[in-house]
Chains A and B, each alone.
Chain A
Amino acid sequence: MTTSMPAVLERARAALDAVPDPEIPVVSIAELGILRDVTLADDGVVEVVITPTYSGCPAMSQIAEDIDAALDAAQIQPHRIRTVLSPAWSTDWIDEAARAKLRAYGIAPPSGACAARETPIHLTRRTVETVPCPRCGSTHTAVLAQFGSTACKALYRCLDCKEPFDYFKPY
């Protein structure tokens, strides 16, 4: 009995590693840091712990459905999803490999330090961050809009290659 338990968790982890983010399918929910833990609860249920990105991120319910479907497909029963708020999700949790995937997909990855401490409330006009273009690498870029196609992205454009691109905002 006890020897089979880690095997269940291993299968669960493998199934969950394959679940992509619904908005940015080149990275997984594990790589984004949304998937926090997979454990066996006291009542024998496989418990998947996730944390929301933005409070109003409309993808969270889709992510929960995708997790259910992946675990159902891997025949991991019973399972449940638990959402935790602390510690609050941060783009600092996105690792270098995932950042490279975002860049290749045309999204500038977030700057290393999360917004909570590095974007203080500016008492004077905001200084805009330098964001390298994910296509040509030029830092000659400008912000078009601080709110982009999803809650987590801002819209930029490259002044050298002239292409617009998404920037994954530090959060």
Chain B
Amino acid sequence: MTTQSHLTYVLRLADTALILGQRNSEWCGHGPALEEDIALANVSLDLIGQARMLYGHAAKLEHALTGVAKSEDDYAYWRDEMAFLNYTMVELPHHASLSGTAAANRDYAVTIVRNFLYAALMAEIWPALETSTDTELAGIAAKASKETRYHFAHSRDWLVRLGDGTEESHRRTQAALDQLMPYTNEFFAGDAVDDEMAAEGIAPALAPIKEAWQRVVALAAEEATLTLPAAGARLTTGKRGLHSEHMGFLLAEMQSLARQHPGASW
């Protein structure tokens, strides 16, 4: 039997992939080097592709639950901010703490650290989902696992290059890690949805995922000569639909065209 928790869980995965894909695509045409420009566009394509498959699955779950037929586009373009259930971390701009948010102020260290923290998480979660009792989710996970390995390798490689690089790259990468680490609390703060999914064998339990993630992150930080800050007590609430002030601007950019021309095709 389909439950609301099941739909919520799939939408959290989908929204997080979509919003990070949208964020990373901001580098398209503006990357710090041609190869990185292409890399970030490729990573974004993978993430948006994962989101599309997950929205397709969510649509089936929602139809079974409510009888309402929805499409990928309905989820991406026609929901308002509070209906999005992504982790807060992925909606933040590519900017250092306390800097302005003009495009010229984007900091690649923030991009790399965020992609690393997220890829390290999904490199644990996707393989675990390959044995989900939800067989369609398992099928999506089998594809996403492979892509995430490449995303992880890319971001980890750059984390080490920047951390163990120049004085300036080290300073900025350390600042990005200090800035983003508190947002990772949301990855592991389980709620009723997470508990229910783990009990039904749809999703893995979070405690072993957290342990594995911490080990991988600590080893990478050490190799990058970075100091791993404590995550602290702050807990963001994106996966419950309560977002940072940056989310509305991201959605405005992503959704405005579809909303100006409803149902348009080309």
Tell me the A residues contacting B by CB distance below 8 Å: 52, 54-58, 84-89, 114-116, 119, 121-126, 144-149, 151, 155, 169, 171
Contact = CB atoms under 8 A, between A and B. Distances in A.
Contacts of A151: 42, 45-46
Contacts of A119: 149, 153
A54 B49 CA distance: 8
Contacts of A171: 146
Give me the 3 closest cross-chain CB pairs, A-B, nearest first.
A56-B49, A55-B49, A56-B45
Interface string B118-156: 000001000000000001101110111111011011101
B144 A55 contact: yes
Given A56-B48, A124-B219, A115 B157 contact: no
A86 B135 contact: yes
B150 A115 contact: yes
B153 A122 contact: yes
Contacts of A126: 153, 156-157
A121 B100 CA distance: 36
A148 B139 CA distance: 26
B145 A55 contact: no
A114 B143 CA distance: 12
B73 to A, nearest CB: 14
A61 B5 CA distance: 32
A88 B157 CA distance: 27
The interface residues of chain B, by DSSP majority, are classed as: helix
Nearest to A51: B143
A150 to B, nearest CB: 8
Given A145-B35, A147-B42, A88 B123 contact: no
Contact of A144 (B35, B138, B145): B35
Contacts of B41: 147
B235 interface: no
A55 B50 contact: yes
B154 A146 contact: yes
Contacts of B39: 145-147
B46 A54 contact: yes
Nearest to B33: A145
Interface of B: 35, 38-39, 41-50, 52-53, 123, 135-136, 138-140, 142-147, 149-150, 152-154, 156-157, 160, 216, 219, 223
A102 B72 CA distance: 35
Contacts of A144: 35
Given A119-B153, A126-B157, A56 B50 contact: yes
A84 B153 CA distance: 28
A109 B39 CA distance: 20
A107 to B, nearest CB: 16
Given A55-B52, A55-B143, A123-B219, A169 B47 contact: no
Nearest to B46: A56
Nearest to B150: A146
Given A55-B49, A123-B219, A126-B157, A88 B143 contact: yes
Contacts of B223: 124-125
A37 B156 CA distance: 39
14 contacts: A52-B49, A55-B53, A55-B143, A56-B44, A85-B53, A85-B136, A122-B153, A123-B216, A124-B219, A144-B35, A146-B150, A146-B153, A147-B42, A169-B150
Given A115-B149, A126-B156, A169-B150, 18 more contacts: A52-B143, A55-B46, A55-B144, A85-B142, A86-B139, A88-B139, A115-B146, A116-B142, A116-B145, A121-B123, A121-B149, A146-B150, A146-B153, A147-B38, A147-B39, A147-B150, A147-B154, A151-B42
